[in-house]
Amino acid sequence: ALNMEMIEKDRLVSYFKKRGKNTHKGTYGHLFILAGSLGKTGAAVMAGKAALEMRAGLVTVGTPKSCLPIVARSMMELMTEPLEETTEWTLSEKALDKIKELLKGKNAVLIGPGISTHKQTSKLIRSLLPLIEVPVILDAVLASVYVHGLSGDMPVKKTGEKSLMAGDIIDFLPQAVLSMEQDKKDQ
């Protein structure tokens, strides 16, 4: 059975209570964002800005090393990490070990804003997804791959929650939700 719930403004406001005394930004979680590629650094910056506006305590953006200066200059509040890249300024599968280190201590992960569909980037994501043990949000490009079953051998079962931001594939959201519900039952 598909369970949906409408979240009204009054309930949503309750999530954004005034922060407590004697707390610091680390008290409010640490999000890791894997994002950006040549010509798409703005997506990485916008994702980071949105996370901070939604009151994530700490936000780290991992991006191809050639893209890092643009992301870092665009929003100084973000922490940034340069990652190994292909000659086309996309994430390389060689970035996996560093990303595994960066995931330590994170409370959630967002993968995909401005990410490329380069073959090495796809290999990286296929290797990375089963290693993540916290909630993951996949952006529209990666969600599209999941929904349409084009992932090939991309692992979809892992510890933690699966979330999809449907973006431009909103028409396929019901199938995605049903697929995720079935995955939960199968675990």
In 79-154, the DSSP E strands lie at 79-83, 108-111, 136-138
- Would residue 161 count as lying in a domain? yes
User: 32-46, 61-75, 161-175: which has the minimum mean pLDDT?
Assistant: 161-175
- Would residue 6 count as lying in a domain? no
pLDDT exceeds 70 at position 170: no
Q: Could you give phi then psi for residue 61, rounded to 5 degrees?
A: -110, 120
- Would residue 60 count as lying in a domain? yes
Global model pTM greater than 0.75: no
- Would residue 9 count as lying in a domain? no
Query: What 3-state DSSP class applies to 125?
Result: helix
Rg from Cα positions in the chain: 17
* Per-residue pLDDT tens over the stretch 44-72: 999 999 999 888 889 999 999 999 999 99
- Would residue 16 count as lying in a domain? no
- Would residue 179 count as lying in a domain? yes
pLDDT exceeds 60 at position 167: no
Instruction: Calculate ∠ Cα 171-172-178, nearest 5°.
Output: 135
Residue 108's CATH number:
3.40.1190.20
Q: Pick the residue with more confidence: 175 or 14?
A: 14
- Would residue 98 count as lying in a domain? yes
- Would residue 33 count as lying in a domain? yes
- As a whole number of angstroms, the distance between CA 37 and CA 80 comes to 14
Instruction: Compute the mean pLDDT over every residue in the chain, rounded to the nearest whole number.
Output: 79
pLDDT exceeds 80 at position 102: yes
| CA nearest neighbour of 72 among 56, 84, 60 | 60
If one counts the domains in the chain, the total is 1
pLDDT exceeds 50 at position 154: no
Which residue segment(s) compose the domain that 135 sits in? 26-186
